[in-house]
């Protein structure tokens, strides 16, 4: 896929990994539609930074827990740009609680954001891609889908479901729409991460360091440019899966 003048829709991209992915795609000539959850996020600055790369950009609010909103966002993106070539399901939440203390509401909130949201976004975008006989969907999962993380049962269930959804969509949407997943390790610790937590992440990596958001963004670009991969999960974790 030649990325110049393609259009990417990236959910949850006002900050962190989504923002970096949007900016790096923009550097390659991709027009960007990105979503943000609420006005507390610095979406206006991200929008300006993307446009400064010389491409067109559109920022839209999206709460994937609201059933009708993913389709509305896709409709607005198509009205503005006429096409969506790449969907990156990046929006996520990180809810934590011991298994016996997970409430039904927390369980549902985790699945709504980490699994149902990507499902709704992909289901809204895929018919357009199939009509054009070209498209790429990338789902951002994480290592909890493959490792037993105490206190993250609801998060892990959503992310593991996203891996299964990736594979099924790859089969059903072939041969014209490719669907892959990326599973980052520690690439951007949260602001409140302790030194001990970061040290643990370093020690439990074969490369003995944490990664960066740019590592994930480069994989998105790789999957966009390399057209013979579908139904796969790509680990960007410094070898942590093997430790």
Closest CA to 32 of 233, 175, 224: 224
Beta bridge pairs of residue 235: 183
Question: What is the overall mean pLDDT for the chain?
Answer: 96
| Alpha-carbon distances of 1 from 38, 85, 91, 152, 224, rounded to whole Å | 33, 9, 24, 37, 6
CA 238, CA 144: separation in Å to the nearest integer? 15
- pLDDT value, residue 92: 96
Cβ(230)–Cβ(180) below 8 Å: yes
Block mean pLDDT (10 aa), the chain, length 243: 95 97 98 96 98 98 95 98 98 96 98 98 98 98 96 98 98 98 92 87 95 98 97 97 91
Q: What is the 3-state secondary structure (H, E, C) of 69-90?
A: HHHHHHHHHHHHHCCCCEEEEC
Q: How confident is the model over 102-115, as pLDDT tens digits?
A: 999 999 999 999 99
- pLDDT value, residue 189: 83
- pLDDT value, residue 178: 98
Give all domains of the chain, ordered by start, each with its CATH number: 7-242 (3.40.50.720)
- pLDDT value, residue 186: 93
- pLDDT value, residue 203: 94
CA 58, CA 13: separation in Å to the nearest integer? 11
- pLDDT value, residue 232: 98
């Amino acid at each position: 896929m030649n990325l110049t003048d393609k259009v990417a829709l990236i959910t949850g991209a006002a900050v962190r990994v989504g923002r970096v992915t949007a900016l790096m795609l923009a550097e390659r000539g991709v027009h960007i539609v990105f979503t943000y959850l609420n006005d507390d996020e610095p979406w206006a600055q991200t929008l300006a930074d993307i446009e400064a790369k010389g491409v067109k950009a559109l920022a839209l609010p999206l709460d994937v827990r609201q059933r009708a909103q993913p389709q509305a966002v896709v409709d607005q993106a198509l009205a503005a740009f006429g096409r969506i070539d790449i969907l990156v399901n990046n929006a996520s939440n990180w809810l934590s609680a011991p298994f016996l203390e997970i409430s039904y509401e927390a369980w549902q909130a985790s699945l709504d954001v980490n699994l149902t949201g990507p499902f709704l976004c992909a289901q809204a975008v895929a018919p357009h891609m199939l009509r054009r006989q070209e498209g790429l969907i990338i789902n951002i999962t994480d290592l909890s889908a493959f490792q037993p993380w105490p206190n993250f049962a609801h998060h892990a269930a959503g992310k593991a479901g996203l891996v299964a959804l990736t594979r099924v969509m790859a089969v059903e949407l072939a041969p014209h729409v490719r669907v892959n997943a990326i599973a980052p390790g520690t690439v951007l610790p949260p602001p409140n991460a302790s030194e001990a937590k970061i040290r643990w992440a370093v020690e439990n990596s074969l490369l003995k360091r944490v990664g960066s958001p740019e590592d994930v963004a480069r994989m998105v670009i790789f999957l966009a440019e390399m057209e013979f991969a579908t139904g796969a999960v790509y680990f960007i974790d410094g070898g942590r899966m093997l430790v």
